[in-house]
Amino acid sequence: MNSPLRVGVVGVGYLGSIHAGIYARMSGVHLAGVADIEAETASKIGTRHACPYYTDPYALIDDVDAVSIVVPTSSHCEVALPYLDAGKHMLMEKPVAPTAEDAEKLVAKAEEAGNVFLVGHLERFNAGIMALAERVGDPRFIEVHRLGMFVERATDVDVVTDLMIHDIDIVLSLVHSDLKYVSAIGSPVVTNHVDIANARLEFENGAVANVTASRVSAKKFRRIRVFSGDGYHALNFIDQQMDIVRKTKPEPGQLYPGLVSEKLEVASKPSLDAELEHFVSIISSKQKPFVNGQDGIRALRVAELVQNKIKECLT
């Protein structure tokens, strides 16, 4: 009988505590411990799941086979490198690092060691996005809105790194072409960082994506619309409902194709459950991550281009 996979979580604030909870109930997995620099937080989550807890972020190295790194982005390199040096498999929350240069160092280290390195671009595991990707072959125009109300979390980074990077990653996964041009605008509203932003991404094959992200909106609104040569797909991230308009062959005597509309209810599954299950499964099967380190670097590079364009507008 195979021994359970020993997994730890470093950083058990809001999101990290959910990681710990999923691992704790996952078959074939042993939650070997959690760590957080806040003693009260570490104690709370460790006690909840009856596992060891520490304030030292490196205390789990000898006790785990794999680890989720869910600390602030600014600490990703500092916390992750010792685990990679020790040959531990890693789920790194997005973005990979504060800069693309730092991300390249982390990814190179993981690749050198042959470790599984999965980047936590959670929305790629959204059941609706997975269904959308199966149905859209050659997008010509994509429009994404990710709007949310202000919360005092992730305010150490701007809205591009906090929210928009999800949709940058999705767009890059749907459009199979090199990026040609980026334009962007944005502004601080509540924090000292940019809180609302819009970016236009133009690709070599002619595809265009318009991406808007806000963390200062009056209500939550998350929607993606994809236009292609054979129709239109629109997904509501929240209720997982997809609206589809597609063309059919012209009826006899008709000049133009017909249009058929339908609504598709996507069987929903919590994205984080799907992501962590994927992480555990590829460690044992030695398969490639669905979102690998190079995907994470590419999304971060584009996010940096967006940030630079916004800075130009603000100065």
| pLDDT score of 164 | 97
User: Do residues 124 and 170 lie in contact, with contact meaning Cβ atoms separated by under 8 Å?
Assistant: yes
User: Do residues 206 and 142 lie in contact, with contact meaning Cβ atoms separated by under 8 Å?
Assistant: no
| pLDDT score of 104 | 95
- The domain segmentation of the chain, as residue ranges, is 5-121+272-291, 124-269+301-314
Binned at pLDDT 50, 70 and 90, residue 257 comes out as: confident
The predicted model gives 216-245 an average pLDDT of 93
Binned at pLDDT 50, 70 and 90, residue 267 comes out as: confident
| pLDDT score of 215 | 96
CATH number of 124-269+301-314: 3.30.360.10
Binned at pLDDT 50, 70 and 90, residue 2 comes out as: confident
Q: Does 28 have pLDDT greater than 90?
A: yes
What Å distances lie between residue 159 and 119, 209, 312, CA to CA? 19, 18, 17
pTM of the full structure:
0.92
Q: Does 1 have pLDDT greater than 70?
A: no
Residues 6+ apart with CB under 8 A from 306: 160, 164, 168, 182, 184, 197, 199
| pLDDT score of 315 | 81
The predicted model gives 165-187 an average pLDDT of 97
15: closest CA among 116, 76, 94, 90?
94
User: Do residues 84 and 115 lie in contact, with contact meaning Cβ atoms separated by under 8 Å?
Assistant: yes
The predicted model gives 278-295 an average pLDDT of 93
Write the single-letter amino acid at 128: G
* Helix intervals (H) in 36-187: 39-48, 76-85, 100-113, 127-135, 159, 165-174
In the DSSP assignment, the letter for residue 240 is T
Binned at pLDDT 50, 70 and 90, residue 229 comes out as: confident
Sheet with 117-120, edge to edge strand ranges: 53-54, 29-35, 5-10, 66-69, 89-93, 117-120
Per the prediction, the chain carries an average pLDDT of: 94
What Å distances lie between residue 113 and 39, 83, 93, 288, 295, CA to CA? 32, 11, 19, 14, 18
Cα 279 versus chain centre, distance: 14
Cα dihedral 245/249/250/255 (nearest 10): 80
305: closest CA among 125, 99, 86, 135?
99
User: Do residues 55 and 41 lie in contact, with contact meaning Cβ atoms separated by under 8 Å?
Assistant: no
For 38-63, the pLDDT digits (tens) are 999 999 999 999 999 999 999 999 99
| pLDDT score of 44 | 98
Residues 6+ apart with CB under 8 A from 156: 72, 73, 74
Element (H, E) at 271: helix 271-285
Element (H, E) at 313: helix 293-314
Longest dimension (CA), the chain: 75
Q: Does 73 have pLDDT greater than 60?
A: yes
Asked if CATH classification 3.90.1200.10 holds for the domain at 5-121+272-291, the reply, yes or no, is no
| pLDDT score of 114 | 86
What Å distances lie between residue 22 and 18, 49, 243, 257, CA to CA? 6, 10, 31, 48
For 140-175, the pLDDT digits (tens) are 999 999 999 998 876 778 999 999 999 999 999 999
For 105-141, the pLDDT digits (tens) are 999 999 998 889 999 999 999 999 999 999 998 999 9
